[in-house]
Amino acid sequence: MKLYQVVVKDVIRRKRRVLYATIGVIIGTATVVGILTVASAGQARIYNQLEKYGPNLAVIPAINNLDMKLGDVRLGMLAVGDNYISEEKLPLIRQIADGEIRKAMKIEDEGNIATIAPNLYINTKIGDTSVMVVGIDPQEEIKIKTWWKVHEGKYLEQKDQALVGAIAAEILKLNIGDVIPLDGTNVTVAGILEETGSNDDYQVFVPIDTLQKASGREGLVSSVDIRALCNACPVETIADGINKDIPGVRAVAVKQIAATEMGMMEKMSKFMLTLAGITLAVGLFGVVNTMMTSVNERIKDIGIMRAVGASRSQIVKAFIYEAIIIGIIGGILGYIVGTLLAYIAGPLVFEGTTIALVPQYFALALVLAIAVAVIATVYPAFRATQIKVADSFRSL
């Protein structure tokens, strides 16, 4: 009879003791799988929420303030530089942003990666009320301001349409279909936004081409918002590249957004890894304890094996084979239990989160379970090889 057959028969004979060892592995593996599954779903939810913060890079005209003096008399501040950015610089801004992201993320796709939304701000009067009119690229702006919801009407579809902030519509008494005159150009209110709690509530939004023509600022924008939609986009490197290679502009990384994204995920990852490590350690010690008890109970069997010619390496192999069986059973059941645990606990940890099955964690569960079982068996197996035949017979 081969050694592995002896081990299998012994495992079947000692079902209760093997079950105890397997439970320790199942608990450890299930906890790790559950934590990773919940963390994966939580990360996806957090990134979806963080996208609502808007741009993580802002490009504005490079204007310097000079302190004007005459002798010791201070005459005030003088702004030096252009107040607008030429649209000719937009392709170069995209080239730098997408290039840095491709380099950092090792992306070979030549398509657009970053969202780049130019804005033109014009202060004008509608009726007797002064209001800020903002020219936007409708398709790009909605990608950045994902929290925008149209309360009445519809989103911008044509160049002669306007989208009005909630408070601006109330103050100006504007309704869907009303016409707004803009320096000789008329636009029709197509939609009214839900209140956002930001400056958007007080502004009127029109397609940027329309506002450029109405204000005589063709080819000019006031600022450019950039949203690098990836987990680890190098926003500060992009800002440095724009500042270095494009004269007349100043790129500022919105560090609060970048720091929030990376800091939250880093803290979550560390917490999850620590918790998983503690759980695995507890499971490992549980298996060690069970296997040590098994060695004490099997002194007679080990002595008989030694008496009939079994070598110390064969004794060790017998324990390792048993550990692998425990690991396989523990890994399979641990993956199932951990996934079920994630489905139960996930929505409680991250409210509204949808938990998705992660098949990749099955292989991880097997490897972890087998590794824990084998590592936990090393010391008991070594103790088993130290048992002398005479000691085993004295235990009869």
Stronger pLDDT, 255 or 161, i.e. the higher one: 161
Q: What mean pLDDT comes out for the span 240-246?
A: 91
Q: What pLDDT, on the 0 to 100 scale, is given for residue 295? A: 67
Q: What mean pLDDT comes out for the span 10-29?
A: 77
Per residue in 315-368, pLDDT (tens digit) is: 777 778 888 888 898 899 999 998 998 888 877 776 667 787 888 889 989 998
Per residue in 48-99, pLDDT (tens digit) is: 665 555 567 889 888 655 454 444 555 444 444 458 999 999 999 999 988 8
Question: Cα 8 from chain centroid?
Answer: 45
Single pTM value for the model: 0.55
Q: What pLDDT, on the 0 to 100 scale, is given for residue 78? A: 40
The neighbour count for residue 106, using CB atoms within 10 Å, is 6
Domain ranges for the chain: 3-48+263-394, 57-254
Q: What mean pLDDT comes out for the span 91-117?
A: 85
- Which one, of 178, 175, 170, lies nearest residue 195 by Cα? 170
